[in-house]
Amino acid sequence: MEHTFIMVKPDGVQRGLVGEIISRFEKKGFYLKGMKLMKVDRKFAEKHYADLSAKPFFKSLVEYIISGPVVAMIWAGKNVVTTGRKIIGATNPSESAPGTIRGDFAVEVGRNVIHGSDSVENAKKEIALWFPDGAVNWESSLRPWISE
């Protein structure tokens, strides 16, 4: 089963959106396979966003991610990487459709509430970084009602 890395960013935690976000992934039919509240340090945040290190907003992005606790999660399910990105919405909340998390709860690209892996390959890398012990191995008893 496909896995993705989802993180509620510090603004999402401070604004009390953790439950709402978990609920949207649960109700869709995805399975929670790992979750922890943690505060990451600068080195760790820079590693997570290493691909963006040349961008002009890199420093402020890292400051934002280390500004408070985040909720790191592993979600599993059919096409969870691509569908997870659709649930999250476009990077810039000005362009995120209503009904998406960013479309419903954010106005600013630098405070866009949530992160989601953008490819299966990056999901593997991000899960390895954030969850060195891997996912929790369990199967939902609802699975036959969600998947053929």
Choices 14-22, 31-39, 58-66, 113-121 (CB under 5 A): range interacting with Mg ion: 113-121
Question: What residues contact 122, with CB distance under 8 A and at least 6 apart?
Answer: none
- Is 21 a residue that touches ligand DAT (CB under 6 A)? no
Question: In the bound complex, what is the minimum distance in angstroms from residue 91's beta carbon to ligand DAT?
Answer: 3
Residue 112 interacts with, from ligand DAT, Mg ion, none (CB under 5-8 Å by kind): ligand DAT
Instruction: Name the one range near ligand DAT by CB under 6 A: 37-45, 66-74, 109-117, 127-135.
Output: 109-117
Please report how close the Cβ of residue 35 comes to ligand DAT at its closest, in angstroms.
19
63 or 136, CB closer to ligand DAT?
63
**Roughly what angle, to the nearest 10 degrees, separates helices 18-28 and 80-88?**
140
Least spacing, CB of residue 137 vs Mg ion, in Å: 27
Residue nearest to ligand DAT (CB): 91
Task: Say whether 48 is catalytic.
Answer: no
By CB under 6 A, tell whether 109 contacts ligand DAT. Answer: yes
**Rounded CA gap, 66 and 7, in Å?**
13
- Identified catalytic residue from 34, 74, 115, 116: 115
List active site positions.
115
Which residues of this protein are in contact with Mg ion, per CB under 5 A?
118
